[in-house]
Structure 1
Amino acid sequence: MRQPTGAAGTAGPPGILRGWLDALAVVLAGLAAMGAVAALGLWLAGADDLPEGGFPSVLAATVALAVGGSVQLDGGDGDFASLDAGISAMPLSVSVAGAVVIAEVFLRQLRHRAVAGGAELLGRAARTALLWLLALVLLALGAKHTFTVQIGPDLVQSIGSALGLTPRVGFHADTPSTVGIGFAWLLLVLAATFAVSRRAPLPPALLRHQLAVRPVAFALWLVLLAYLAIGAAAGVITAIVHGNARQTLAVVLLALPDLVWLAFGLGLGAPWHGHLVGGLGLPVPKALSDALHAPEGQQATVDLGTLTDQDATAWWLLPLAALLLLAAAFLAAHRSPPTVRLWQHAVRFALATAVAVLLIGLWTRMDAQYGLSVLGVGLGQGGLGDLLSTVLGSDNPAATLGSGSLTLRPSLPVAVPLAAAWGLTTGTLGALLATRTRHKGEVRPAER
């Protein structure tokens, strides 16, 4: 019997080469998608005006942040001026673009399979992961640049010039976090791909588990997509009505999921804690910015109550989250076999909702601290936009740096059990509704 040599997973050299080419296609397609979205968002934010050829490095730093890395900023001028800063926040629009493209290309290579061997799937994942690690190392090395900046208002600038101060602000991606967390990010993307998509072939040993996972995973993925669609529509309307189209669209292309998935968690009643010193410098909802302001040294609580205090319309986040979760629970129950009992569906949906909110909490964490001082004296409070205007672009790249900080972290011990309770409730109601829409002759879960 002649053994095929052209298919991936065979032992012959053509099969090995094809397997590596497939893995390379997945990695390059994902990076291309992330780079395209990040580049367009940065261009809208004004990064095309960056001096000293800094745009490619800023683009690499943005992609590094999108896979969970962090960017450190440092610089100064000897003992006269110093900078203490760092940014750790995921631009989730870039992350989602890369994840969707990676999943699509990976699955397209398996499109003619109904079942795939475990060894083949592990081989494909291993080759993709190895090339991805190499790409992350190159990405971290490329995310490095320095800029010359002004050191303060006119008087301070004059004094600095007389002293010969020419501070330079540099940034670089933190290699361990970029490579380590970026690797975990790819594994999560591949795992979510097989959990959500019915097109993904599984090994025979796992086929019996797919109906316990895929209906609820797909339904919750639709909830997240629905929030993205609502947020994108709101962003377009805001850009048209308020006339700040470039800045608003930049936020959409860089951080839309950060805002709308945060809104989903807040709608369920989950709290986030943090503070904002200075200004965001970005056109995010004013209610969120105001809720984050707290007295020096104190933490602010961002939840449905504090948002409603700032903007009465924020209470709509509650019924929106409840309605979308109920619709997702109904869809998941409707796509499940009629042999699934009501309590089984409710528990599965509760677990899936808890995992979704856990991931949202981890993805929406933000930490940014920055400050430029001259002769040990800080130059006053500025906005985060002052820093980002230097590092991520602005109409005046040589912006004056001040000092400030932004933190936003979820209260996971509260958010995760709360999400599970929501999932259990909506999962039960969704399963009850689904039993009334089944065709005659099917056995309802509640009757078994």
Structure 2
Amino acid sequence: MSSRTPSARAGARHGWLQALATVLAGLVAMGLVAALGLWAAGAADLPDNAFPRVVTATVVTAVGGAVELFGNADGLADTEAALTVMPLSVTLTGALVIAAGFLRPLRHGAVGSAGELAGWAARIAVLWLLALLGLSFASHQTFEVPLGEGLLDDLGDLFGLSPEVGFTTDVPLTAFFGLLWLAGVLVLALLVSRGAPLPARLLRLHASVRPAAYAVVALLLAYVVIGVVVGLVVAGTRGHPAQTFAVLLLGLPNLVWPALTIGLGATWDGRVEGPFGLPMPQVLDEVLRTPDVSTLNLGTLAEHDGRVWWLLVADVVLLPAAGWLMARRSPARTPAWRHAVHMAVALALATLMICLVGRVSARYGLSVLGIGDLGGDLSGQLFLRPHLWGAVGLAVLWGLAAGFLGASLAQRLARHSDTHEGPAR
């Protein structure tokens, strides 16, 4: 005879339904953003009705999944293709929706103990894994590569060559990284939300970790909001609105979060050649489209567009504001130096995350009987990578300063408020 009461069994069933709603909401939101972004980028015109599979592949890469490119040219031609990029607009959308669904029952006290919290997270993880497997098996497509005109086309006709490239999903890696991504989203949601109850053993995190996590997440979202405003202005004033909306819907954080690190003084290396490009802002394409690897920082960008110094201004304003927000959510008697340390650690971790997920690498090449040499008009590459530890070190220094300034400002405002409210009491 089962020891579980009818109410417990009903609660478990209700938990599965809530978990299913959370997972489905996250996937639908990610799929919608990915589809709109790809449509704006022109992917709806892909042959062989490939658009739905490109959308699923985009969602897979957005959660850290491994989508592999392959080529097939019947042994008489060489093809090379590789792509490493996370469409962070899709990633952020899914994270926000799933985090909201995960926190909703916690805020209403439906989950309290560590066991109940783990059970609620496990339900979401099981359903998320099943969804990832379905998306992975659906993300497979092959395209025929046109050889163009001239000698390569003549050779293709002579030998009956039909070079193909396509993509498929590494299912085990996708399942692993997809679950790791989900775990990160759920843990961060718990750390950011002040209303979600924590198990007794983790209550100390409420005062020490949650304010800093909330402040840094707010900082990252503020940069996204600023990026949206700038993107809308660009779309309305400089033309090419479809291209701009494609960037907003697929890769806005890929631009604004590295911009945050560049404002800190960080350096990125990169190069653009061939048909690849960076559609927004144009200054990135100008700096990176050189024969050799280019350096991307405040100095090199300012040589092409002096407005880049606004990145430094934005950091000077927004980081102390984040420090002030952290201090406002912290216990009143916390010393300023402790705020500084908390902010430094949180900003360093955020910068590490940006440097890891903000890397971009793409390469494509085709050679028929050695002609083309995987270069020329039928090839191209694009990559962008950070000086990782330099960026993290700068984030620590900025975090210490921003945390201390923000805490000092919060304490001064609190004393000023007490001074004016005291006589009224």
Give TM-score scaled by structure 2 length: 0.93
Partner of 2:203: 207
Task: Supply the distance in 1 between the matched residues of 2:200 and 2:416 (Cα, whole angstroms).
Answer: 31
Partner of 1:408: 384
Of the three residues 385, 402, 405, the one matched with 1:426 is 402
Amino acid at match of 2:166: G
Of the three residues 355, 361, 366, the one matched with 1:361 is 355
CA contact (8 A) 1:333 1:345 kept: yes
Of the three residues 45, 50, 53, the one matched with 2:49 is 53
Amino acid at match of 2:408: L
In the TM superposition, what are the counterparts of 1:220-259 in structure 2 within 5 Å? Answer: 220-259=216-255
The offset of 1:367, in angstroms, is 1.4
Amino acid at match of 2:234: T
Unpaired segments of 5 or more residues in structure 1? 383-400, 444-448
Task: Supply the distance in 2 between the matched residues of 1:167 and 1:279 (Cα, whole angstroms).
Answer: 19
In the TM superposition, what are the counterparts of 1:388-403 in structure 2 within 5 Å? Answer: 402-403=378-379
Amino acid at match of 1:149: V
CA contact (8 A) 2:133 2:175 kept: yes
CA contact (8 A) 1:70 1:86 kept: no
In the TM superposition, what are the counterparts of 1:32-431 in structure 2 within 5 Å? Answer: 32-113=28-109, 116-295=112-291, 298-378=292-372, 381=375, 402-431=378-407
* Secondary structure at the counterpart of residue 112 of structure 2: coil
Task: Supply the distance in 2 between the matched residues of 1:200 and 1:119 (Cα, whole angstroms).
Answer: 15
* Secondary structure at the counterpart of residue 106 of structure 2: coil
Partner of 1:396: none
Task: Supply the distance in 2 between the matched residues of 1:358 and 1:45 (Cα, whole angstroms).
Answer: 29
The offset of 1:135, in angstroms, is 1.7
Amino acid at match of 1:353: L
CA offsets per residue over residues 263-292 of structure 1, 9 Å max, x none? 001000111123222243441222212222
The offset of 1:4, in angstroms, is 6.2
Task: Supply the distance in 2 between the matched residues of 1:170 and 1:117 (Cα, whole angstroms).
Answer: 48
Task: Please identify, of 224-233 and 270-279, the stretch whose mean Cα deviation from structure 2 is larger.
Answer: 270-279
Amino acid at match of 1:408: L
* Secondary structure at the counterpart of residue 234 of structure 2: helix
* Secondary structure at the counterpart of residue 79 of structure 1: coil
CA contact (8 A) 2:276 2:381 kept: no
Amino acid at match of 1:329: G
The offset of 1:379, in angstroms, is 6.7
* Secondary structure at the counterpart of residue 331 of structure 2: coil
Unpaired segments of 5 or more residues in structure 2? 420-425
RMSD between aligned alpha carbons?
2.1
> Are residues 381 and 142 of structure 1, via their aligned partners in 2, closer, same or farther at CA, if it must alter by over 3 Å?
same
Amino acid at match of 1:368: A
Task: Supply the distance in 2 between the matched residues of 1:279 and 1:289 (Cα, whole angstroms).
Answer: 12
Partner of 1:389: none
* Secondary structure at the counterpart of residue 279 of structure 2: coil
Task: Supply the distance in 2 between the matched residues of 1:323 and 1:410 (Cα, whole angstroms).
Answer: 24
CA contact (8 A) 1:60 1:143 kept: yes
Task: Supply the distance in 2 between the matched residues of 1:339 and 1:83 (Cα, whole angstroms).
Answer: 63
Give TM-score scaled by structure 1 length: 0.88
| Matching of residue 27 in structure 1 with residue 3 in structure 2 | no
CA contact (8 A) 2:277 2:382 kept: no
Task: Supply the distance in 2 between the matched residues of 1:215 and 1:437 (Cα, whole angstroms).
Answer: 18
The offset of 1:32, in angstroms, is 0.9
Task: Supply the distance in 1 between the matched residues of 2:110 and 2:418 (Cα, whole angstroms).
Answer: 26
Partner of 1:397: none
CA offsets per residue over residues 336-379 of structure 1, 9 Å max, x none? 12111111111111111111111111110111111112113227
* Secondary structure at the counterpart of residue 244 of structure 2: helix
CA offsets per residue over residues 367-408 of structure 1, 9 Å max, x none? 1111112113227756xxxxxxxxxxxxxxxxxx71121221
Task: Supply the distance in 2 between the matched residues of 1:417 and 1:231 (Cα, whole angstroms).
Answer: 25
> Are residues 73 and 142 of structure 1, via their aligned partners in 2, closer, same or farther at CA, if it must alter by over 3 Å?
same
CA contact (8 A) 1:70 1:89 kept: no
> Are residues 314 and 279 of structure 1, via their aligned partners in 2, closer, same or farther at CA, if it must alter by over 3 Å?
farther
